[in-house]
Amino acid sequence: MKLTFQPYNLNLKHTFSIANFSRTSTPIVLTQIEHNGIVGYGEASLPQYLGETQESVCAFLQKVNLSEFDIQDDMDKIMQSIDAIDKNNTAAKASIDIALYDLKGKFFNRSVREMLNITAKNTPFTSYTIGIDSEQIIRQKVKEATPYTILKIKVNRENWKKIVDIIRTETQKPLFIDANQSWICKEEALENIHYLSTKNVLLIEQPLEKHNISDHRWLSQRSPLPIIADESVQRLSDLELIKDAFNGINIKLMKCTGINEAYKMILSARKYGLKVMLGCMTETSCAISAAAQLSPLVDFADLDGNLLITNDCFRGVEIAEGRILLNNKNGIGVDKI
């Protein structure tokens, strides 16, 4: 098996602005693994908080030698070896995991969900994300989100009530609220959540600082809405520490090294009685379709990264009336365009 890779820049539909910083594109790295003329596609998408860059991903991928593996080798064996090359680099590792699953699926004529014995029934609705922005842009984005049945709203400590109140003048759709660690005090967070529980909100993502496990535990035991860990949980090994401090976890392929570990995290979360959300970064239909293969197993999906860009180079999973629609293609179910 032979790995090749290439940096690529995604153009954003909306300029992303925070304080005096703004950007119109976001970097990723596309991977391909070839075996006997069959090509599997993968992707590393790079949120700044994970610390990876196009350069670090390419440097990591240069160290990977897939010629020592056979297409028949199981994913645990291959991914354990990739994981051991260096610590961190989870998006770079995920880009190999995704391309390998795609290649294996195409080689053995099966979709990834068939490889994992997942039925395509009961795929969840996906939320459509609305970032922190001016009132005018928020109203415009709510209108753009008409095809979606759930909205994911990013908020902070100062603006959460104002934003939710604006949205409630436009729509009564159910909401996911992502506080992104901004609610610094647990009592204040609980008060906010009580207000939100009267506003058709389904869950609260990462209300407090990611290392503050004890206050999250306090909050999860009292909250009328499920508290979902995002930044507090990255990999399977993190679950043990946070399992009784949250009501659920947000799994993202780029945080956890890909499909192989994400699937294990879903099984572990269920064992601990946790709800499961499947999230994403700003990425193409390649990584989104890979994650979507696991979506029949989860309670909540936030797989809209490909909807927020204008130069998607893959066609894959589609959304029908807000619900994820898996196709019958082999591998992760994408075509390069």
Helix (H, G, I), strand (E, B) or coil at 288: helix
Taking CB under 5 A as the binding criterion, the range among 16-24, 117-125, 200-208, 300-308 that sits at the site for Mg ion is 200-208
Which one, 49 or 195, has the nearer CB to Mg ion? 49
Taking the complex as a whole, how short is the minimal distance between the CB of residue 58 and Mg ion, in angstroms? Answer: 27
Which CB sits closer to Mg ion, 49 or 108? 49
Q: Which of residues 169-198 bind Mg ion (CB under 5 A)?
A: 178
| Cβ 201 to Mg ion shortest distance, Å | 15
Give 205 or 304: the residue with its C-beta nearer to Mg ion. 205
Q: Are the C-beta atoms of 254 and 281 separated by less than 8 Å?
A: yes
- Nearest approach in angstroms of CB 131 to Mg ion is 11
User: By CB under 5 A, is residue 83 in contact with Mg ion?
Assistant: no
Residue 304 near Mg ion by CB under 5 A: no
Decide: is 215 part of the binding site for Mg ion (CB under 5 A).
no
Task: Decide: residue 309, CB within 10 A, 0-12 exposed, 13-18 middle, 19+ buried.
Answer: buried
How far apart, in whole angstroms, are the C-alpha atoms of residue 293 and residue 295? 6
Is residue 302 close enough to count as binding Mg ion by CB under 5 A? no
Task: Kindly state whether residue 43 participates in binding Mg ion, applying the rule CB under 5 A.
Answer: no
Q: Which residues neighbour 275 within 8 Å (Cβ) at sequence distance 6 or greater?
A: 203, 226, 228, 247, 248, 249, 269, 299, 300
Candidates 322, 324, 291; CA nearest to 102 is 291
Tell me the closest approach of the beta carbon of residue 336 to Mg ion, in angstroms.
29
Residue 7 pairs with which residues in a beta bridge?
29
- Taking CB under 5 A as the criterion, the residue among 97, 102, 215, 230 binding Mg ion is 230
Q: How far apart are CA 148 and CA 102, in angstroms?
A: 28
Q: Are 313 and 45 in contact (CB under 8 A)?
A: no
Residue whose CB is less far from Mg ion, 3 or 196: 196
Q: Give residues in contact with Mg ion (CB under 5 A).
A: 178, 205, 230
